[in-house]
Structure 1
């Protein structure tokens, strides 16, 4: 009996100390940024939209301002809606804001945490960035690939001429062909290609498993230890199948390059050029392998979405299409196709591309960052491990930066006082 009382007293003491600590912490630390009031335990689960989140949080700014906080089952989110705030936090305080959210399902169980997109800001990430800068990180480094890109674009035009109804599939194949050639020196086949199918299959798992809250195990990571035979643990089987797809995507083309190098048939590529830099440790070889796979994940879907947006815009705004075509005919003529060498002489076409990036951004909420330590900004407390989201759509539709933001108007980038280049916002912020 006495022993039970001692245990009970200990529990009450520990509970009391915990409550006191929470009280003192809340009493003396600055407030969290404003946002919709949540419910006990679940927080703002019911406030979070399931689609077009960028429009919802942009609407919230009318009530709570440009910095908005929500709590989803204990996970802090901060949404940023102004260029000044995004620059101040993700650029100027990048040492604190360069982490990535941890996805138990997509990262740990499926394996995407080894990719550059979900890697934390650590030595592995920095080594991957060094590899990128050496091979494809500058305009001059990419110049040797101009001929490849032009050739694949000509193939795209030919496919569109015969089967224009398959626009999306043609654009997807073109983007895949360019990036697989750059990453591995691989030339895709006409029709169905096994490497394109393999990579696209693996990328489906990335999209399915890296949406915050998509799987309960992301909210309660301890569930990853639940055996797969337990009712409700279907996610374990999905994770195993998706992990196999991911590892096939990462290992197969890398092994192909190494085999071709052994046979003396390998052509220049990101992977081959890095493997030739000297004796590599197993760790560095693994970084090369995953960084090559990340090129596809980072480049293909965004490229496809941007080109599709371009076709949509030209369909919706035929007067702008005609104006761009007139410039093309005037500069390039009608007896050849344009090349990269013509780009600097096509300012209106360049402005059209910029307006496509602004008007319909392919990643309206960017890629979320995560704080590596507590921070205080504008009198608000931003806890460690907060997921920080920049509303890129809101920045690109800010009437203070882009007057009449709903209008598709390439002329805004021309003349003596052009609007800001949307490339400053469209591709994200900070060290990553």
Structure 2
């Protein structure tokens, strides 16, 4: 178990491991596999349209709107709960849990990682700050595990629950002979979906906005494709996706260019192993260098540049180019089970934003463009540093679509 290995015990109370992890994963996969992911398309399209409206109202708050959009999608699907804005308590809980995970999952980040007996010292002793952090993050971890699930149980009891993954799991556990175990697994499966979907994909979309500021020619090419395929009188839908290869290439490049998890999630060997002549003893921390895989100059010439064209050939996606999903969603049995959900939300967001808005550099007091560059945060989950840009409707017809397609209007 990762948290046990790293010394941060807070997540042991909320995260499954061993055989229980495999049970939770099976339950999770049941609702987020490639076959089921398409059933959530109406949620993606509704949230994308809501996202456009929020960008139109307060474009300077685009970073908060990105966070809200993905939290709203995953909360709606998982719990049937409406997230009204980015200050929602559920968004805050997810942010705190991800922050704690970022700290706990970095090998050697705390002295206790290397000197295990330090976990027994009281929190008041100098150097035992990790104990206080563990207590703090455990509080939010338990909130993540219980708060939305309890809300759904209460809503079911009074007949006001909205159909969701949680309601289905609760109904199944209530009909089960082993209710206690089924409830424990259901809480963990839904909480993993909640925190994973509410926060990590935010990084990829933020990188997309950053790329549009830095590479205006990419934005122009994408909008030309959208104008030809979709036209000015409606917003892109999933039916358009096969006809939008450049949009698809932008998605792939957004995932490759600035990785959400540049070193992936640490794994631990459960037995002695050997790789290319290197002996790897049992209990070793193994880091998969996803950044290196997706910035290999042989596979991706000029890897630091944002070039969607690298994934295209003769106007179509080139199957001979390495797909970023081989590394950006993790590896092995712990590969991100929600990747299909994330990719669908990413498509809807990228296509709708580029169809509706122009994204340009912010201007300084003298009217000169403010330069931006890709500066990423440290941690297992990495985010672009905050930056400014101008987001304006592309045209009067685009502005009308933004307003008319939003549920705020309807």
Q: Name the TM tier (shorter chain).
A: 0.7 to 0.9
Aligned position for 1:259? 154
Confirm whether residue 130 of structure 1 aligns to residue 26 of structure 2: yes
User: 2:6–2:106: 8 Å Cα contact kept in structure 1?
Assistant: no
* In 2: Cα distance, 1:236 partner to 1:396 partner: 36
Aligned position for 1:317? 215
Post-superposition offset of 1:351: 0.8
Confirm whether residue 185 of structure 1 aligns to residue 71 of structure 2: no
* Equivalent residue for 1:391, pick from 274, 281, 289: 289
Change (3 A) 1:397 1:282: same
Change (3 A) 1:239 1:422: closer
Deviation per residue, 1:334-393 (Å, 9 max, x gap): 111111221111111101111111122111111111100111222221111111111111
Post-superposition offset of 1:191: 6.2
User: 2:2–2:105: 8 Å Cα contact kept in structure 1?
Assistant: no
Query: What RMSD in Å do the two structures reach over aligned CA positions?
Result: 2.0
* Equivalent residue for 1:422, pick from 316, 319, 324: 324
TM-score, normalised by the number of residues in structure 1:
0.71
Aligned position for 2:378? none
Looking at CA atoms only, which structure, 1 or 2, has the larger radius of gyration? 1
Aligned position for 1:74? none
* In 1: Cα distance, 2:270 partner to 2:180 partner: 28
Aligned position for 1:407? 305
Change (3 A) 1:145 1:230: same
User: 1:184–1:257: 8 Å Cα contact kept in structure 2?
Assistant: yes
* Equivalent residue for 1:301, pick from 199, 213, 221: 199
Aligned position for 1:344? 242
Deviation per residue, 1:378-413 (Å, 9 max, x gap): 222111111111111111111222233233221222
* In 2: Cα distance, 1:204 partner to 1:414 partner: 36
* In 1: Cα distance, 2:265 partner to 2:13 partner: 14
User: 1:101–1:370: 8 Å Cα contact kept in structure 2?
Assistant: no
Pick which of 145-154 and 237-246 moved more. 237-246
Q: Which runs of 5+ in 1 are unaligned?
A: 1-98
TM-score, normalised by the number of residues in structure 2:
0.75
Aligned position for 2:348? none
- Which runs of at least 4 in structure 1 moved beyond 6 Å after TM superposition? none
Q: Which runs of 5+ in 2 are unaligned?
A: 335-410
Post-superposition offset of 1:258: 0.9
Q: How many residues align?
A: 327
* Secondary structure class of the residue paired with 2:107: coil
